[in-house]
Amino acid sequence: MRRFIVLFSFILSITSLNAQQKISYLLDNKADLNKVTIEITFDALSATDAKLVIPRSAPGTYILTNYLAFVDDVVGYTATGKQLPGMIGDGSFFTFGESNELLNKVSYTVDIQKMEIDLLDASTSSKAREDYLGLFGYSVFGFVEGLENEAIHLTIKTDPSWPVFSTLRPDINRKNGTDSYEAENYAVLVDAQYLLGKGVQVIRVEEAQIPLFVATYAETSIDLEGIGKRGLLALQQLADYFEYIPMPHYTLVYEFLNPISERHDYGFNMEHLNSMTAHRDISKEYDTNRDLGSIIHHIGHSWVPLRSWGEGYHPFAWQVAPLIETIWLNEGFIWYVSYYEILKNEEILNWWQSNMDNAPDFIKNKSLKELSLLGSTQYASDFRIGKNLFSRGALMAHDLDNYIQQQTNGIKSFKEAILGLLSWSKDNKRAFKYNEIEPIMSKATGVDLSPVWDKWQNAPE
């Protein structure tokens, strides 16, 4: 009887897991290497209620991007095999008519080549080359509205000779032609990067506290091991500062590219939960040593805001660029940790202050919260906004640091404040509200930080 009960429990757990994993994604690019076809299969629902949402924004991008412009051939499939054409809705989504028939699959194509040509910022676009397909998840994967929190099984199919790599499950031993991945939900699926093709190089960096990888596509000669050494040093220094590593693994993704045009920008990098992406214009000199600060900064985002965040950042509203009041914290606090605390660059205080002093009035006149709301969609498009946001946040962190050390005779510092935010997020598993930030940091440090907090909320004098 005991054996029967154990067997029954095992079958029940497997049945429950299978019931949870009811969304299947297929990404196929064998037919045309400059395009991908996406199929999403799910438990049947009424065609009238089905909406295929195409993201227009993603966490940390602080911009609206019209990815729908690169989507074609949208089709819904009923349980009986009937095809229903997708129709563009009022927002960034497709509908499938007024039929009461049950829909259980949708498919569409994404033109990667057109995306890269039309989007001038390399950090927002996937890439297509003769021997490479580099995909940002949020630029190619849509979702069926209402199913964002379901577990996902992803299958990737490409040319049989092409190795497949993803930051979801990084490995130097890549499969050719096809591979499968599991994602906890849609947000995890689209946070990842997918690198396909013979042009992709992958190494594992030894001696790291967690599995650490470098994955690159380069249209020039590069020092892969040099990038790995900087990644290892950055990870070690961040681990020493925070005293723990929250990521199960980490990948540094680098693209070294011939520019599409003089107007295309390859200067911005992007952070992800367990990875970062960097883009480099090979017509400009690249110095691995000078890149250390950027690596520390972007890996540092795996602590804040990816694991401790304010409202609007998560859960994310994919069809819009949500209004986020705490971009100064997301960026500025990590700038301070990366460049002042870890790299000991005291001169950077002057640069942050000059960013504020030289700002135009429409930036100077805004409170911290107002400027963050403005930066929710224009952080990089007018980088004076972005620079002022991280400069104000970093200088606030410096003021907090000095004040905490003064009040505790050097026993505590800003480190306790940021660790307090991380600990609070781990315990509460939700976004902190704006008026909760100062009390969380004050409790963590044992110091009333309201005088410093209140000073930085207003427009600079």
pLDDT digits (tens, 9 = 90+) for 334-371: 999 999 999 999 999 999 999 999 999 999 999 999 99
Listing from the earlier edge strand, what are the strands of the sheet with 23-28? 83-85, 71-78, 102-111, 35-46, 23-28, 152-157, 178-183
The per-residue pLDDT for 31 is: 66
**pLDDT tens string 403-424:** 999 999 999 999 999 999 999 9
Please give the C-alpha separations between residue 458 and each of 24, 388, 439, 461, in angstroms, as whole numbers. 48, 14, 18, 8
Distance CA 230, CA 216 (A): 15
Q: For 162-180, what is the mean pLDDT?
A: 98
| Residue predicted with more confidence, 98 or 40 | 40
The per-residue pLDDT for 2 is: 36
CB-based contacts of 291, cutoff 8 Å, min separation 6: 227, 230, 278
The per-residue pLDDT for 22 is: 79
| CA gyration radius, the chain | 23
**Side chain identity at residue 295, one-letter code:** I
Q: For 151-175, what is the mean pLDDT?
A: 97
Q: For 26-55, what is the mean pLDDT?
A: 93
Q: What is the mean pLDDT of the chain?
A: 93
Distance CA 235, CA 232 (A): 5
Distance CA 213, CA 203 (A): 6
The per-residue pLDDT for 99 is: 85
Please give the C-alpha separations between residue 244 and each of 209, 210, 422, 423, in angstroms, as whole numbers. 10, 11, 11, 12
Distance CA 397, CA 400 (A): 5
The per-residue pLDDT for 355 is: 98
Lowest mean pLDDT among 211-215, 224-228, 263-267, 445-449: 263-267
Domains of the chain in start order, with CATH, are 20-198 (2.60.40.3650), 201-300 (1.10.390.10), 327-457 (no CATH)
Q: For 321-341, what is the mean pLDDT?
A: 97
Residue 105 pLDDT more than 50? yes
Give the pair of three-digit tokens for residue 31: 């037919």
Helices 383-407 and 368-378 meet at what angle, rounded to 10? 140
Residue 430 pLDDT more than 50? yes
Q: For 32-59, what is the mean pLDDT?
A: 94
CB-based contacts of 117, cutoff 8 Å, min separation 6: 260
